[in-house]
Structure 1
Amino acid sequence: MGMDDVAGIFAREFPAVDGYIQVGVAQGRVISVDFPARPQDDATPDHDLLDRVGAYLNGDPDDFRDVTVALTLPTDERRVLEALREVPYGEAVTAEQLARMTAGLDDEDEADLRTVRDALTGNPAPILIGDHRVRDAPGATPADVAALCRRVEGL
């Protein structure tokens, strides 16, 4: 199923992450990606984005930049995640580099670096917005899944 014609909760078990990846979609936009032990009862496994995630986990390069993600975060945090989406597949940055890439933030300002860290931990769409590509700050991606994504991308 395509992104534009469907809304709902989609989940599929992926042995590589030792569990499920669940995606929430509304109005053609991803609103959430999470990693539950069990998917929601109304989740269905058929969605082309889950096909792409599976291919990515198996080593097919994909930066997911074409996937529309609804970013309902404070403006500065949203800009951080938008800047992070520009980090190419297979490349990594530091939190300070990400601050420099984000309009209006100063990589030497502790409050701005906190904004970067808050944006990463508040990331609503791990994998699609690659917080695993930030070397020195935790994101919303569970540690084991982030480690897998880094291995897949050779980071």
Structure 2
Amino acid sequence: MDDTGDVAGIFARESPYLGRHVQIGVASGRVVSVSFPDSPDDEAADDHDLLDRIFDYLGGVEDDFSDVAVALTVPTVHRRVLERVREIPYGEQINVETLARMTSGVDHTDEDDLNDVRTALDENPAPLLIPDHRVRDGPSAAPPSVEQKLRSLEEL
């Protein structure tokens, strides 16, 4: 199931739990971005099925968002890393080394490869849908306060 539908645009809604907005960008039926601005883009609409799901998640409903199509226009190694991050189950954490072990073509003993993993996490275009908050010793593309709230929500 893909809740992005055929509607393209920017959608945002304020989250009291996060203390900021959740904003998604959608194009060609795929999510191209997830961000957490203090104020949404002026043209952002607030009605989207995926926002409904995200707000259910923020309210405590378990969801892994694995069925949501995310457009990853990132280098190949970053794509492989982020695809593995999507496989980390709700409520579980791993570390950067384990993520590197899970990722094809990445050597968990090579510092350059570990830096590639960290860079992929830091530049993640869709935090929450690609749950980088589940990698405990890696950076998150979400603001630190959002990352901590997501970890707290999942009891990590």
Do these two structures clear the TM 0.5 threshold for a shared fold by scoring above it? yes
Q: Following the alignment from structure 2 to structure 1, what is the Cα–Cα distance between the partners of residues 35 and 100?
A: 25
Q: Following the alignment from structure 2 to structure 1, what is the Cα–Cα distance between the partners of residues 48 and 41?
A: 15
Aligned to 2:9: 8
- Helix, strand or coil at the partner of 1:132: helix
Q: Following the alignment from structure 2 to structure 1, what is the Cα–Cα distance between the partners of residues 145 and 56?
A: 18
Aligned to 2:108: 107
Aligned to 1:132: 133
1:37 aligned onto 2:43: no
Letter in 2 for 1:125: A
Aligned to 1:153: 154
Q: Following the alignment from structure 1 to structure 2, what is the Cα–Cα distance between the partners of residues 67 and 39?
A: 22
**Per-residue deviation, 1:137:** 1.1
> What root-mean-square deviation, in Å, do the aligned CA atoms of Structure 1 and Structure 2 show?
0.7
* 1:35-114 to 2 correspondences below 5 Å: 35-114=36-115
**Per-residue deviation, 1:19:** 1.2
4+ residue runs over 4 A deviation: none
Q: Following the alignment from structure 2 to structure 1, what is the Cα–Cα distance between the partners of residues 99 and 21?
A: 29
- Helix, strand or coil at the partner of 1:111: helix
May I ask how many residue pairs the two structures share in their alignment?
A: 154
**Per-residue deviation, 1:4:** 2.2
Give unpaired runs (5+ residues) of structure 1. Answer: none
Letter in 2 for 1:87: I
- Helix, strand or coil at the partner of 2:17: helix
Q: Following the alignment from structure 2 to structure 1, what is the Cα–Cα distance between the partners of residues 145 and 15?
A: 13
**Per-residue deviation, 1:134:** 0.3
Letter in 1 for 2:4: M
Q: Following the alignment from structure 1 to structure 2, what is the Cα–Cα distance between the partners of residues 119 and 61?
A: 25
- Helix, strand or coil at the partner of 1:16: coil
Q: Following the alignment from structure 1 to structure 2, what is the Cα–Cα distance between the partners of residues 5 and 111?
A: 39
Aligned to 1:123: 124
Q: Following the alignment from structure 1 to structure 2, what is the Cα–Cα distance between the partners of residues 27 and 146?
A: 28
Q: Following the alignment from structure 2 to structure 1, what is the Cα–Cα distance between the partners of residues 42 and 23?
A: 11
CA deviation digits over 1:93-144, x for unaligned, max 9? 0000000000010110001100000000000001000000001011101111
Give unpaired runs (5+ residues) of structure 2. Answer: none
- Helix, strand or coil at the partner of 1:45: coil
